[in-house]
Amino acid sequence: MTNSDIIDILEQTAKLLDLHDGDPFRIRAFSSAAFSLDKVPVSLTEQYVAELTKLPGVGKTIANAVREIGDTGHLAELDGLLAQTPPGVIDMFRIKGLGVKKIKTLWQELGIETLRDLRQASESGRVAAIKGFGEKMQKNILDNLAFLESQAGKIRMDKADRLATQLRDELSSLGRVEISGQVRQRATEVDTVELLVESDEPVAVQSFLNGHTGLTQHRADSSPFAWRGQADGSDVRVAILTYPANQFDQQLFIRSAPEAHLIEKGPTGKTLLQTALQISPHNPEEAIYAQTGLPFVVPEMRENPQAFAWARQHQTDDLISWDDLRGTVHNHSTWSDGQHTIQQMADYAREIGLSYFGIADHSPTASYANGLSAERIRQQQAEIDQINADYAAQGIAFRVLKGTESDILGDGSLDYSNEVLSSFDYVVASVHQTLSMTEEKATARLLRAIENPYTTILGHATGRLLLAREGYPIDHRAIIDACAAHNVVIELNASPYRLDMDWRWIEYAMSKGVWISINPDAHAMRGLLDMHYGVYAARKGGLTKDRTFNAMPLAGMLVWLEKRKKG
């Protein structure tokens, strides 16, 4: 049970209490406890009840609830509420624009209990006819249902990675185990977690898996060599394939690239697939490419249709890697909605080998996130000056940079005065509200922000949340062209929830000479590690070290920022 698991349970309890007409103040207590616990930098499962009650918004009842969740993984009260609620009604919370009140109306007035019911009611116009609903809401529901259906059965790369790693460790007693498939290719969204086991005893592998709690086999899809099923509590499919030693390496290659990549032909007319099947066992993947007469492509880039074109122009070593990162520029602290102080975050950044840490807390429009007023910006910058003075006094070559994540308002302007904007080393400009826009409106809004001379970095360009929210449509070429013209860096938001901008646009951005910054958008120390996911996505798109903004060393970064401010 992580803090966010516990917070999710408290939030869901609040929603279901609301759905079942609970006491409004009790509902608010659960919901605000969840909100404030989200900012607590300690592990909730490790706290005693007496310690928990000292936290803001936590009294005896919620402290006991947190303990119960920590100890049992469940909250009896939530289980009771869930038992009274059709699962399809709970699914409706995933539709953006539907909250408790509207879901309650749909359930009670139209008797809607499944997403299928909801679609039928929307298609037949019955939803628009309810008081408080209308044509636009009905269309929004249908659009959201279509998006959710298209994402069904997928999980984010971070969850897939955890599941795959866990299975690999558990299976390792049976022999050599390798993660293959989409996880090895670092797909941003995964529908099948696949692993290969090297063994001459497929029966032993199958019986091990069938004795595994948390996995359920789909017998119809399985064979003696291929166990297929799914992880309990998740829609994602799991495939565990057993191969003898003399087939293992070639299968690992074949199962780590999409078909379009495997049927690429070399100068002799032979495809990668043909070579892989003919090559003698235990040859490295590089040998398969070499014997086909094609340049080597790293697994994460194999789903990129431009991979071979990229590999003919660059070396694999040109690709950005974790070790090349020198700093980080988009992060939050306790000044806005982060869990840790600037000092804690900066020290952690040092610990993981970086030489600069940029703070970019929220601006006033993000009031829900405790965005900073002009006055609080002055105080924060004084604190940063002090931290930097302390590092310098200790002879530590590390710098905290003064940034902001300034909201892009509806008209494309930023929400600080020019005087405040000029006090930062750099400005990350991001859209956080009014996300529902046409492509024309969204593009015009971003273009105005890019043209602002104070904008240094364009934050999460489309506002998407993988598997949950599509993001507003933008004219990517126009946005990238404008960034090139105005020397604006584009963020690759490294949060596994976002990975925005999409890796498919990296090549175009590079061709225009645009810098790309791998930004963790960290709200806690460990959030800095999300840059790993950003690196995976960046490598998919072929991002090179020399175009990665935060691969710039500290000295170069300071010069670049200074020059950029002078225009």
The residues that touch DNA, with contacts defined as CB under 7 A, are 23, 25-26, 28-30, 33, 53, 55-63, 95-103, 128, 131-138, 140, 365-369, 409-410, 432-436, 469
E strands present in 265-398? 327-328, 356-359
Cβ–Cβ under 8 Å, residues 188 and 541: no
Smaller CB separation from DNA, 115 or 196:
115
Closest distance to DNA from the beta carbon of 465 (Å): 7
Residues 280, 284, 289, 295: what is their CA dihedral angle, to the nearest 10 degrees? -160
Given the structure tokens 């947190």, which residue do they identify?
66
Decide whether 89 or 561 has the Cβ nearer to DNA.
89
Between 138 and 452, CB nearer to DNA: 138
Residue 121 beta carbon to DNA: minimum distance, rounded to whole angstroms: 14
Min dist. Cβ of residue 412 to DNA (A): 12
Shortest distance, CB of residue 20 to DNA, whole angstroms? 14
CB of 328: closest distance to DNA in angstroms?
20
Short-list 530, 546, 141, 536, CA closest to 315: 546
CB of 410 to DNA, least distance (A): 4
- Least distance CB 125 / DNA (angstroms): 12
Measured from the CB atom, is 131 or 312 closer to DNA?
A: 131
Closer Cβ to DNA, 371 or 541, answer by number? 371
Q: Cα–Cα distance between 48 and 34 in angstroms, integer?
A: 17
Residue 437, both tokens: 């826009």
Give the containing element (helix H, strand E) for 155: strand 155-156
- For residues 128 and 298, which CB has a smaller minimum distance to DNA in the complex? 128
Distance CA 10, CA 77 (A): 10
Our CB check for DNA shows the closer of 107 and 549 to be: 107
Sign of CA dihedral 387, 392, 394, 398: positive
User: Residue 218: what residue type?
Assistant: H
DSSP string, 495-534: -TTT-BS-GGGHHHHHHTT--EEEE--BSSGGGGGGHHHH
- At a CB cut-off of 8 Å and minimum separation 6, what does 429 contact? 405, 406, 407, 408, 414, 449, 450, 452, 455, 457, 458, 459
Q: Cβ of residue 317: shortest distance to DNA, in angstroms?
A: 38
**Nearest-CA neighbor of 193 among 212, 180, 210, 207?**
180
Dihedral of CA atoms 42, 45, 46, 50 in degrees, nearest 10, equals 90
Strands (E), 16-126: none
Nearer to DNA, 368 or 396 (CB): 368
**Residue closer to DNA, measured from CB, 144 or 250:** 144
CB of residue 51 vs DNA: minimum separation in angstroms?
Answer: 13
Q: 511: which 2 tokens? A: 């061709």
CB of 480 to DNA, least distance (A): 24
User: What residues form DSSP beta bridges with 331?
Assistant: 522
**Residue 53 or 321 having the CB closest to DNA:** 53
